[in-house]
Structure 1
Amino acid sequence: MDAQARSMEETGAGRVAYLDNLRWFIVILVVVMHLNVTYGGNGLWYYKEQAGYGPLSGLMFGLYGSLTQAWFMGLICFISGYLVPPSLERKGTLPFIRGRLARLGVPMLAYVAVIHPLTIWIAGLADPAAPDMAGWYAHYVVSLDFLSSLGPLWFLMLLLILSVAYALWRAAFGGPARREHGRAEVRHWWVAAVAVVIAVSAFLLRGVVPAGQQFIKPLPGNFMQVGFFASYVVLFAVGILCRGHDVLDGIDHRFGMRWFRWTLIFGIPLWFLGIPASAIVAEAHGATPDIGAFFGGFRWQSAFYATWEAFFCVGVSLGLIVLFRDRFNGHGKLARLLSRTYFGVYVFHPPVIVAGAVLARGVEMPPLLKMYVMAAVLVPLCFAASLGLRQVPVIRRYFT
């Protein structure tokens, strides 16, 4: 079976097996990321377990957080952009927009109305000072706080905006249909150019909104961190371009894996070297080392982090695409089950893992070990919950 036939193995309704497999793999990493915040304390999440740990555990929490944050949401934006053009061409502009509004809007409404308040209530069970939920909910609605309480579903809001913008652009200006220009052969300088565009965009954006800073105002459930959006927007657009030129089908396996290997070989040591290098420079100038300098402002540390993150994102994403295309491009029973339930896991996992963390809060265990033990328990539980909820027709329609 040639590369095109392998990569375009359909799984119903225009789905592609290896892209489905990549998405459920990324959703698993998202759930583990939120457990990383739960037990490591770095990041935004509903419930954090207050426990001390040493510098080695802190390094490992930071390593997982930084290395996954650098690429996983950018890659899923790329996949989303890659799948938009054929859907738009098949449906037409207005039906496509209506479909996006339903497909992405209904889960967002359900989240702000039910799932976010439920998660707040569950997290409050571990806090004696938690507010009365009836009064909290009334204020939540009247104050319009629900408008910025999408939790992890900020990603659906971003996809909705980007998808509708692309549909309107195509309606106004037209554009090349898929495969109109034939298959393009990816070159090294193309990949590097995408990384440079992401790096420059991220550096400029973070001069205004630092990475990790909440957008609008600090609220429980407001996880929209605009400082990370450069890679998401750029890779969504690159995904659209790749679809139009059949790029994914033509990427040589060795080409993609070469980028993957060299990204890991150089990228991980560079991550370790960045902070001490900043500390040495700061001390040489009589200043106090500030890790926040990496996340925003027009400083060399921010430029370093934006560049590292961009190349790490592009290299890892390219490698995983060819790896899954050529090695994991099928739907066995387990993969088919995970592909049908990963979207539900993404939407419903917050109350599940917060409930698990609250129930296990009395279990004494090193925080890093506890994170992985809880992941082994709660990730399957999230998929089981998504599978069970899938039996409800309205959930099966909008959440799978």
Structure 2
Amino acid sequence: MGAENNKPRYLYIDNLRLVMIILVVLIHFGVTYSGIGGWYIKDVKELDTISYVVFGLFQSFTQAYFMGFLFLISGYFVAGSYEKKGAGKFISERLVRLGIPTLIYMLVVNPFINYVLLGFTWDRPIFAQYYLKYIISFDFLGSSGPLWFAFALLIFNLIYAMIRLQTKDKVPKGAEELPGTGKMVLLGFIIALVAFLIRLVQPIDTSILNMQLCFFSQYIILYIVGIKAGRYDWFSKISYRTGRRWLLAALLPGTLIWVILMLAGGALSGGFDLYKGGFHWQSAGYALWESFTAVAMSIGLIGVFREKYNRQSKLTKLLSDNSFAVYMFHAPVIIGVSIALLPIEMYPLAKFLLATAIGLPLSFLLSNYIFRKIPYLKRIL
């Protein structure tokens, strides 16, 4: 997930990655206290209209771009890494840096969550029986939790390496100008169309081996765009002015369009299933809004952060260094916090803020002082 060389000009990407990881934690707390989406634990009875709208907007807007953006910036460094290391070292390093964390989550973290944190009842089987069934049934293959991203990225990287081997390392030469507004709009349309078609058979909230294919048109296409952007150094060509314009477009008219889309489509009256997939105008409209949000936020964040946030304080660097470890281990931490807060009756939004105020810093503290101190883990975190 990291840049191959932590050069000063890439500090803005480290900062962006940190922001995305923080959003991952916030999203999972959001699901816990809104009940919207899937997560290990939910602490919600019934949402009032204000909570429903706030959680819905936050989760919809964040989901619309943040994981696709991580694939984009991951793709940005792929070609350079491959050319520097060669196919063999590139593949072996990816297997270690992405494959081993995924296996650790599948084989250690997920069983710990389900058996210890969520399964503490008198009638549960002894651990050996539970774990043996978990392995021989191959349930672990669909139990990657948040590490589905590392698993998917590993697959993408291996496919990239195979393509490079087949083409005998032939890559485009010369320069290519940064695509203009028209091509970016077309990109949004393409992502939306493919997403709409996928959701006819794999709607939102469905998955295969913990992979939500309903979002993969965005992930695959932005990963490919990231590779091309790295080849032609497009990120450095996005001006602050351009970035700010795209960012404002996503935040202001983009939010207004979301509100209109929800009101017109009946989301507040329990009709959100129509947005998830199927041959409905709500599904098409949602895919279109989501895809343009992903494109606009990606361009906007890169342009703004490269100009304004291409530096790190000691605290920011410390947090950035721990971002992948937080991503890997935040699930049991925030689930533990959520369980501890179960007896407390609070307004959903207030409880979300309280849990976040506890769980987010705790995740970074445990990462820095425990998880990254474990000898072998330190090598991959």
**TM-score bucket of the superposed structures, by smaller chain:** over 0.9
1:322 CA drift (Å) = 1.0
Q: Give 1:171's aligned residue.
A: 165
Report if the CA contact (8 A) 2:18-2:320 is conserved: yes
Give the corresponding residue for 1:67.
Answer: 61
Aligned partner of 1:334 among 304, 315, 331: 315
- 1:10 touches 1:17 (CA, 8 Å); kept in 2? no
Shift of 1:276: 2.6
Write the distance in 1 (CA, Å) between the matches of 2:109 and 2:59: 24
Indicate the residue corresponding to 2:336 in structure 1: 355
Quick one: which amino acid aligns to residue 231 of structure 1?
Q
- CA apart distance, 1:210: 0.7
Residue in 2 that maps onto 1:3: none
Unaligned 5+ runs, structure 1: 1-7, 217-221, 281-287
In the TM superposition, what whole-angstrom CA distance separates every residue of 1:349-383 from its partner, at most 9, and x where no partner exists? 01000011111111221111111111111111101
Alignment partners' CA distance in 1, 2:77 and 2:333: 29
Residue 228 (structure 2) aligns with: 241
Q: TM-score, normalised by structure 1?
A: 0.89
Give the equivalent residue in structure 1 for 2:132: 138
Q: Is the partner of 1:92 in helix, strand or coil? A: helix
**Cα distance between partner residues in 2 of 1:271 and 1:265:** 10
Q: In 1, Cα distance between the equivalents of 2:198 and 2:121?
A: 36
Contact 2:68–2:219 at 8 Å: present in 1 too?
A: yes
Alignment of 1:178-327 (within 5 A): 180-182=173-175, 184-216=177-209, 222=210, 224-279=211-266, 290-327=271-308
Q: Distance in 1 between matches of 2:111 and 2:272?
A: 33
Counterpart secondary structure, 2:266? helix
Amino acid at match of 1:395: L
- Equivalent in the alignment of 1:393: 375
| Unaligned residue ranges in structure 2 (runs of 5+) | none
User: Could you tell me how far 1:330 is from its partner in structure 2?
Assistant: 1.3
Q: Which residue of 2 aligns with 1:147?
A: 141
Aligned to 1:5: none
Identity %: 39
Length, aligned pairs only:
376
Q: Aligned AA for 2:60?
A: S
Would you say the 8 A contact 2:4–2:77 is kept in 1?
no
- What residue identity is the alignment partner of 1:394? Y
Give distance in 2, aligned partners of 1:76 and 1:346: 12
**Paired residues of 2:35 and 2:43 also in contact (CA < 8 A):** yes
Amino acid at match of 1:197: I
In the superposition, relative to structure 1, how do residues 36 and 94 fare at CA in structure 2: closer, same or farther (>3 Å)? same
- CA 1:15/1:254 → structure 2, altered by over 3 Å: closer, same or farther? closer
Between 148-157 and 254-263, report the one with greater CA deviation.
Answer: 254-263
Q: Give the corresponding residue for 2:113.
A: 119
- Conservation of the 8 A alpha-carbon contact between 1:206 and 1:296: yes
Residue 209 of structure 1 aligns to which amino acid in structure 2? Q
Change (3 A) 1:205 1:129: farther
Matched-pair contact (CA < 8 Å) for 1:46–1:123: no
Aligned-CA RMSD value: 2.2
8 A contact 2:9–2:310 mirrored in 1: no
Instruction: Summarize the Cα distance change of 1:271–1:127 in structure 2 as closer, same or farther, 3 Å threshold.
Output: farther
In 2, distance between residues paired with 1:133 and 1:371?
32
